[in-house]
């Protein structure tokens, strides 16, 4: 049933999100043409203005599509789980775990796809600039040097694990939103407002934990006479990975608990 749920979740979301992402591709091509055709070196103000408008639209489209996709996915979760469509979803003979996993994985796929598209877009556009490529190469070498310089065990492994940690961090963020929307359903009235309340309360607690972790780390480093920046750098993926995994489990359980044990569709 998980596969079927994912299939229909994908079908329900692609009609809006594919055109949005294609818009990024279109704007990237336009912006690329603007740079390649030296619009900004022109003597004509009209051409320069056109170039500025294209570049601004390009940058704006990145932001609008990224934010718009996330808002749409949140809206989709709310309406399909706790809105009118929830009457169908919750009367399907499927496990609630499958519903949560299907929605989380589909949302993660869209956010990742959007992020990859944005990165490639910037990279494609800036790769035409020699200074950018030099800076990219230096930046990458610097990163590997720093990682290798402070901890011999971490190198390529550290970089890979940083991506893995980022993946779980994304999962934790998506499940956090699911959990907050679900917890908001426990309120008799103002359920959306309650969901925002839960979001900021959880955000505050998470920040407190982060601050506490770095505070303890700082004190530990001072006691051992370690250099501050390097140690933080090499251990950050570990903290992100562990904390993300813990948050994933907590937010998953909260979502499941409300969906399975406290469901109250209006």
Partner 1 sequence: MGAALRGSRRFRSFIPGTGIEQDRDFRMEERNTVIEMAPIVQCMGLTKTYGGKLALNQIFLNLERGKIVGLLGPNGSGKTTLIKIMNGLLRPTAGDILIAGERPGIGSKYRISYLPERTYLHPGMKVMEMVQYFQDFYPDFKVEKAFDMLHRLQIPPNERLKNLSKGTKEKVQLILVMSRDADLYILDEPIAGVDPASRDYILHTIVSNYNRNATVLLSTHLISDVEGILDEVVFIKYGNIILQADAEQIRQREGKSIDRFFREVFAC
Give the footprint of partner 1 on this chain (CB under 8 A): 1, 4, 8, 11-12, 15, 80, 84-88, 90-95, 188, 261-265
Token pair, residue 78, equals 């709310």
* DSSP code for 265: -
Quick one: 162 or 255, whose CB is closer to partner 1? 255
Quick one: 16 or 70, whose CB is closer to partner 1? 16
- We find the least distance from the C-beta atom of residue 94 to partner 1, in angstroms, to be 7
- We find the least distance from the C-beta atom of residue 87 to partner 1, in angstroms, to be 4
Quick one: 94 or 161, whose CB is closer to partner 1? 94
Quick one: 15 or 153, whose CB is closer to partner 1? 15
Neighbours of 222 (CB within 10 A): 10
- We find the least distance from the C-beta atom of residue 244 to partner 1, in angstroms, to be 31
- We find the least distance from the C-beta atom of residue 256 to partner 1, in angstroms, to be 14
Cα–Cα distance measured from residue 40 to residue 59, given in angstroms and rounded to the nearest whole number: 16
- Note the Cα 85 to chain centre separation in Å: 26
- We find the least distance from the C-beta atom of residue 4 to partner 1, in angstroms, to be 5
Quick one: 185 or 243, whose CB is closer to partner 1? 185
Residue 55, sorted as left (phi over 0), alpha (psi -120 to 50) or beta, turns out to be alpha
Quick one: 238 or 260, whose CB is closer to partner 1? 260
* Strand, helix or coil for residue 227: coil
Token pair, residue 11, equals 């079908």
**Residue 223 to residues 33, 44, 69, 150, 226, Cα–Cα distance (Å):** 56, 64, 46, 17, 8
Cα–Cα distance measured from residue 45 to residue 145, given in angstroms and rounded to the nearest whole number: 46
Quick one: 153 or 261, whose CB is closer to partner 1? 261
- We find the least distance from the C-beta atom of residue 2 to partner 1, in angstroms, to be 12
Backbone angles phi, psi at 83, to 5 degrees: -95, -160
Quick one: 84 or 145, whose CB is closer to partner 1? 84
Q: Contact at 8 Å (CB) between 74 and 181?
A: yes
Q: Contact at 8 Å (CB) between 116 and 217?
A: no
- We find the least distance from the C-beta atom of residue 1 to partner 1, in angstroms, to be 7
Residue 226, sorted as left (phi over 0), alpha (psi -120 to 50) or beta, turns out to be beta
Q: Contact at 8 Å (CB) between 205 and 250?
A: no
- We find the least distance from the C-beta atom of residue 182 to partner 1, in angstroms, to be 14
């Amino acid at each position: 049933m998980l596969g079927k749920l994912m299939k229909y979740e994908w079908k329900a979301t692609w009609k809006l999100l594919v055109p949005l992402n294609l818009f990024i591709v279109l704007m990237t091509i336009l912006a690329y043409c603007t740079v390649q055709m030296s619009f900004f070196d022109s003597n004509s103000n009209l051409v320069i203005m056109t170039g500025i408008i294209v570049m601004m639209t390009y940058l704006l489209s990145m932001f609008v599509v990224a934010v718009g996709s996330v808002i749409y996915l949140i809206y989709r979760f709310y309406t399909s789980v706790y809105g009118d469509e929830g009457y169908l979803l919750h009367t399907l003979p499927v496990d609630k775990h499958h519903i949560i996993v299907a929605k989380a994985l589909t949302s993660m796929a869209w956010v990742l796809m959007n992020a990859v598209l944005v990165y490639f877009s910037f990279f494609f556009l800036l790769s035409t600039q020699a200074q950018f490529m030099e800076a990219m190469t230096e930046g990458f070498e610097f990163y590997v040097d720093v990682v290798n310089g402070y901890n011999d065990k971490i190198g390529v492994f550290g970089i890979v694990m940083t991506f893995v940690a980022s993946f779980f961090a994304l999962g934790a963020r998506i499940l956090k939103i699911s959990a907050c929307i679900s917890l908001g359903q426990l309120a008799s009235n103002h359920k959306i407002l309650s969901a925002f309340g839960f979001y900021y309360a959880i955000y505050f607690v998470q920040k407190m934990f982060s601050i506490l972790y770095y505070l303890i780390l700082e004190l530990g480093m001072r006691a051992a006479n370690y250099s501050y920046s390097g140690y933080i750098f090499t251990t950050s993926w570990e903290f992100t990975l562990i904390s993300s995994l813990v948050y994933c489990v907590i937010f998953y359980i909260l979502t499941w608990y409300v969906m399975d044990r406290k469901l109250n569709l209006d």
